[in-house]
Structure 1
Amino acid sequence: MTNNKNLTWHDYTITKKQRRNQNGHKSFILWFTGLSGSGKSTLANATAKALFTREIRNYVLDGDNIRFGLNKNLGFSEEDRKENIRRIGEVSKLFVDSGQIVLTAFISPFQKDKNQVRQLVEQKEFVEVYVKCPLAECEKGDPKGLYQKARNGKIKNFTGIDSLYEEPINPELVIETNRYSVEECVVQVITYLEKAQLI
């Protein structure tokens, strides 16, 4: 909550329930977390396409893309990473309120930060998807060459090299992208959402 006493919360005329009813489906956050190069963005976008073909309204928030605009003033220090996730959590909450599914693809290395996002929304409105891939595999398939730059000291505070990635403690889903094709991974996500009666 803000400390500014000149601000007043304004309730919306249209409720989240009404928006969901109009859209014909539930709304929630699908939070894809994992190392750089693990396949988060690829899986999030492929899942979004699968949902879209079912006429389920959704939007993808991608870590790199967000840093071009909303979070362009943030670096990669631990404090900036926390603020990065805090802002994304608040934006994601707005998408949930709008009646849509929001898919977020962020490394989000710290468990505490993800827990804070989870607490912003109601039960069953936050689905954590751990996109699990061994560091060596992520480095092998590094299209941006970021790991090599980090190894050479050209990038500081790079997750998995000189900055910690805390494996999720109890995610709703663990997807091993080094073992399955993108299509198979999407099926795992969709199957979970169906069984959880989220779609």
Structure 2
Amino acid sequence: MSNQPTDHTQQIVWQTSTVTQQERFGLNGHKSCVLWLTGLSGSGKSTIAFAVERALLAQKIRSYVLDGDNIRHGLNKNLGFSKEDRQENIRRVAEVAKLFVDAGLITIVSFISPYEEDRQMARMLFADQVFYEIYMKCPLEVCEQRDPKGLYKKARTGEISQFTGISAPYEPPVNPDFILETAHCSIEEAVEAILALVNKQGKI
């Protein structure tokens, strides 16, 4: 088996469904979009993502969270933390998110996604007014104080290498669609703000 990358798309024909996205929207009673939560470990991405999912369920709105740790247990378990692997990590989840959006779900992506270039690559997969980059802005020292998984402590002692914010870079979004300063708001306030964004954009 060759290790050289090969583009097989010239041999493959796209099969178009007879069910349109508008028909899926009609069935669901709402439109779809992707809420892309980016930020340092400990900034509140997963906690808030799952809280948003729960709040949407209460409104009978179909949604799903694609969480960075969870995806690395399955689809992306063969990837490490080099820049190249991080890029592939984002490429794969962006493609999955696109499928979920096509299916009519409000798709919540909770990934550190540290590189601006990779986040823009993800955005390019979606039409206008479908992809919303939400920057979970939180000072590094606050994230370290929280350290819910004990990862910062391990990164500081060298037990973990290539850890974002310590031994690997995080590039803050240049022009995010929304900024949540998670050091200064409660989970409930964060959820309310994200739901207001989704509602303002006419998705629910």
Question: Under TM normalisation by the shorter chain, which class is it?
Answer: over 0.9
- Aligned counterparts of 1:11 and 1:2: Cα–Cα separation in 2: 21
Which blocks of at least 5 consecutive residues in structure 2 are unaligned? Answer: 1-5
Matching residue of 2:83: 78
- Deviation of residue 3 (structure 1)? 3.1
What secondary structure is seen at the aligned counterpart in 1 of 2:162?
Answer: coil
TM-score by length of 2: 0.95
CA displacement 1:19-78 (0-9 Å, x = unmatched):
111111110101000000110000101111111111110000100000000000000000
Quote the Cα distance in structure 2 between the aligned partners of 1:45 and 1:4: 35
Which AA in structure 1 matches 2:96? V
TM-score of the pair, normalised by structure 1: 0.97
Residue 74 of structure 2, aligned match among 69, 76, 91: 69
Once residues 119 and 21 of structure 1 are traced to their aligned partners in structure 2, the CA distance between those partners, rounded to angstroms, is: 26
Counting only pairs closer than 5 Å after superposition, residues 26-41 of structure 1 correspond to structure 2 as 26-41=31-46
Partner of 2:8: 3
In structure 1, runs of 5+ residues without a counterpart are none
Corresponding residue SS for 1:31 = strand
Aligned-residue CA RMSD (Å): 1.2
Determine if the alignment matches structure 1 residue 142 to structure 2 residue 150. no
2:19 maps to a residue whose letter is I
Paired with 1:195 and 1:90, the residues of 2 have a C-alpha distance of 25
**Residue by residue, what CA displacement relative to the aligned partner does 1:169-191 show, whole Å, maximum 9, x if unpaired?**
11111111110110011111111
Equivalent residue number for residue 3 of structure 2: none
Asked if 1:89 is matched to 2:99, the reply is no
Does structure 1 residue 161 correspond to structure 2 residue 135? no
Instruction: State the aligned residue count.
Output: 199
Q: Are 1:52 and 2:57 counterparts?
A: yes
The one-letter code sitting in structure 2 at the alignment partner of 1:131 is: M
Q: State the 1:4 CA deviation.
A: 4.2
